Amino acid sequence: MQEILQRIVDRTPGAQGAILMGFDGIPVLQAEAPSPSVDIEAVAMEFSFRFIELVKAAQALELGSIHDVTIKTDRGVVITRVLTEDYFVCLFVDDPVYLGKGRYVLRVESVGLAQQL
Amino acid sequence: MQEILQRIVDRTPGAQGAILMGFDGIPVLQAEAPSPSVDIEAVAMEFSFRFIELVKAAQALELGSIHDVTIKTDRGVVITRVLTEDYFVCLFVDDPVYLGKGRYVLRVESVGLAQQL
């Protein structure tokens, strides 16, 4: 799984880090760019509890499960993909130009991550 | 502004509705497809308080302001764009294929909406 996370970072231009985390806010594994501009663990922890709230909102609205959440900020894009009921993977890309590429890489590599959970 | 919201719905394939809403959860104006598959007002209200939490998380992480949030669910995609400190616009598209188109239309039309707030 560590290799997959590293591949997500390496294959996505502008990627600062990728992390596998539980919805309980506990980090499992992570990979980072050589000199990351953000602390990917802090980002994922800060957002994890908020993601649970979004999942609950979607259920309340009968929209079904949430597949992914993308948040565009001044400093970059947080791309999150739900893997199982308990885990998600989060990627931070510092240039919104690579949002599409990041979402694609995350979708493709998520299959391998989910299989090992 | 009503015309702009209607144009957002009309220009986006699969769009079920678009709504202008305050972060306090109070709807301002909305436009819907002829037979919408979701209640856009309910969707935006349910998510509005969660969006404030995301905004706070981004500030805590020094990521700056949030520009937009995209949530992909089983039944469709919720595309949200922050207009001002107090208002956001939310679009629901029932087919994820049109996510890119929806985000584009929302970005272009948001300029006109923000100018009138």
Question: Does B46 contact chain A (CB < 8 Å)?
Answer: yes
Predicted TM-score (pTM) of the model is 0.93
pLDDT tens digits, one per residue of B26-53: 999 999 999 999 999 999 999 888 998 9
Q: Output b/e per residue, B21-52; b: 16+ Cβ within 10 A.
A: bebeeebebbbbbeeeebbbeebbbbbbebbe
Mind listing the domains of chain B with CATH numbers?
2-115 (3.30.450.30)
Question: Does B71 contact chain A (CB < 8 Å)?
Answer: yes
pLDDT tens digits, one per residue of B60-90: 999 999 999 999 999 999 999 999 989 999 9
pLDDT at B101: 95
Token reading at A117 = 């959970």
d(CA B45, CA A34): 41
Interface test with A, best of B49, B52, B53, B54 (most A CBs within 10 A): B54
Question: Does A43 contact chain B (CB < 8 Å)?
Answer: yes
Per-residue pLDDT 10s for chain A (117 aa) are 999 999 999 999 999 999 999 998 899 999 999 999 999 999 999 988 899 899 999 999 999 999 999 999 999 999 999 999 899 999 999 999 999 999 999 999 999 999 998
DSSP helix, strand, coil percent of chain B (3-state; round to 5)? 45, 30, 25
For B59, which residue in chain A has the nearest alpha carbon? A73
pLDDT at A80: 96
Instruction: Provide the number of CB pairs (under 8 Å) joining chain A to chain B.
Output: 83
Interface test with A, best of B51, B70, B73 (most A CBs within 10 A): B73
pLDDT tens digits, one per residue of A56-71: 999 999 999 999 999 9
pLDDT at B104: 95
Identify which of B61, B72, B74 has the shortest CB distance to residue A43. Answer: B61
